[in-house]
Amino acid sequence: MPIPVSSDPSARASRLLALEPPRERSAPAGHAHGAPEPVVHRYPIPTDRIDPDAARVVRRLVRHGFDAYLVGGGVRDLLLDRRPKDFDIATSARPHQVRALFRNCRVIGRRFRLAHILFAAGKVIEVATFRRDPGAEALAEESREIAPEEARLQRRGEAVDLLIRNDNVFGEPHEDAVRRDFTINGLFYDIGRGEVLDYVGGMDDLERRVVRTIGDPDVRFREDPVRILRAIKFAARLDFGIEPELYDAMVAHRGELEKAARPRLLEEVLRLLRGGASHRSFWICWETGMLGVFLPELSVFLDDDPPEASLVWKRLQALDRRIADGDAPADAVMLCALVLGPIEEALEGARDVAEAFDDDASATLERLAVPRRMRDRMKQIVAALPRLRRGRGGALARRDFYDDAMALWSLDAEARGQTAEPPRVALAPVDDASPQGPSDEPPRFGRRGRRRRPQGT
């Protein structure tokens, strides 16, 4: 059933967003002749809501004659009165020109170079030159590391610029707007003028609280199926409706998620978990059949509806509450909270939990290419759970995975409706190497028989 979208056309005039009626803007300097004009909404945003470093970067670019705007999720969140996670900037300046203006600047990326401007406490402001749609192939390229010979070229600004021009990726502001995924992510904010430049109808969709692709959803999902997960992320996190045509395209193209690069898939899954609406996000993934593509074991587990299935949802609800309280657990803990059901099922009866985890349980994670370190941490904290549940985790208190194990235990306990009394903690030194600790019997996962495995695994 499509997710309902409330659209009341009479409410579309400036109720939420614009302070005065939008107007067509006269072409800003640098716009190509005949390029589409944005609809401009006057919308001064109080300066204290904008990161001062991002504002400084924009102002300096503009002072040197370039166009520069805040773009993407930062603008969307500002307009929704949410606190942006980060502030990205799009500009007419080429990467080497950005670098020439900022000493604390590093140019990254291979074919599509981005400038990262570094500030105190690890803060990075990303400055990208306007570009046109790079296509799916280029998205994969982007995540690769810079090649050594190009790193050499990069030190000679001119040569790099030529290389990129030959690659034909830089573009005009309107091209940069339409290459983006959803209308609500395609808005530009002009800090100096206090104006939103809208080439894609994003203001209307923000007002109507609806996720809509820029352009034909079938085409956009075929270009990059990870956008399907991104649509779910925004709908769930912002509590927006999904435009029906987009919903149908999500279902139609879900199988193409298999083609997506696994690290990108993992990153989006982690973002769904971190977003504070993981319950709603994964519910939509399950309902649309998407979960069967990237977490087939979890999907089958839920389809089979064992008594533990409801715990999956309750753990995610507990996770969402943690995140609302500003108490986000580590990625490994969140991923465990999601897949604990099928993992524990795979571990049933196992004496050597570590081995069983590697042999059976980690199949659950195969399609996400979870990095080794995260998988090892997951193994440790899942192995610690039986002991913590019995209130006998004290011996683990000095292990480096203890906090993560406790975080998982508390999500699980909350899901099971247990009072969140922490297990006894004995601060005796621990010198054994096993995750179980020295004194208790090794954990043994109860044997309840195996569930059928998803086809094709």
Binding partner of 243, given ligand ATP, Mg ion, none, CB within 5-8 angstroms per partner class:
none
Q: Which of 53, 86, 303, 358 is catalytic?
A: 86
Query: Rg of the chain over CA atoms, in angstroms?
Result: 25
Q: Which residue has the tokens 């983006």?
A: 180
Picking from 178, 181, 195, 220, the residue whose alpha carbon sits closest to that of residue 75 is 195
- Residues lying near Mg ion in the complex (CB under 5 A) are found at 73, 86
Chain CA centroid to CA 265, Å: 9
Q: How far is the CB of 169 from ligand ATP (least distance, A)?
A: 14
Annotated active-site residue 181? The verdict is yes
Q: Which is nearer to Mg ion, 113 or 274 (CB)?
A: 274
Q: How far is the CB of 23 from ligand ATP (least distance, A)?
A: 24
Q: Distances from the Cα of 434 to the Cαs of 326, 431, 445, in angstroms?
A: 32, 9, 17
90 and 74 Cβ atoms separated by less than 8 Å? no
| % helix, strand, coil for the chain, step of 5 | 50, 10, 40
Q: How far is the CB of 178 from ligand ATP (least distance, A)?
A: 10
- Residues lying near ligand ATP in the complex (CB under 6 A) are found at 72-73, 85, 88, 180-181, 185, 224, 226-227, 271
Q: Which is nearer to Mg ion, 39 or 58 (CB)?
A: 58
What are 277's two structure tokens? 């609406």
Q: How far is the CB of 211 from ligand ATP (least distance, A)?
A: 11
What are 328's two structure tokens? 């986000």
What are 285's two structure tokens? 């993934």
Q: Which is nearer to ligand ATP, 183 or 364 (CB)?
A: 183
300 and 453 Cβ atoms separated by less than 8 Å? yes
Q: Which of 67, 176, 181, 198 is catalytic?
A: 181
Annotated active-site residue 88? The verdict is yes
Q: How far is the CB of 377 from ligand ATP (least distance, A)?
A: 23
Q: Which is nearer to Mg ion, 269 or 353 (CB)?
A: 269
Binding partner of 227, given ligand ATP, Mg ion, none, CB within 5-8 angstroms per partner class:
ligand ATP
State the virtual CA torsion across 443, 445, 447, 451 in degrees, nearest 10. -160
Secondary structure (3-state) at 405: helix
Annotated active-site residue 440? The verdict is no
Binding partner of 271, given Mg ion, ligand ATP, none, CB within 5-8 angstroms per partner class:
ligand ATP
Instruction: Give the DSSP letter string of 16-60.
Output: SS-SS--EEPPPPTTPPTTPPPPEEEE-PPPGGGS-HHHHHHHHH
Secondary structure (3-state) at 89: strand
Q: How far is the CB of 368 from ligand ATP (least distance, A)?
A: 17
Q: Which residues contact 60 (CB under 8 A, 6 or more apart)?
A: 101, 102
Residues classed as catalytic? 86, 88, 181
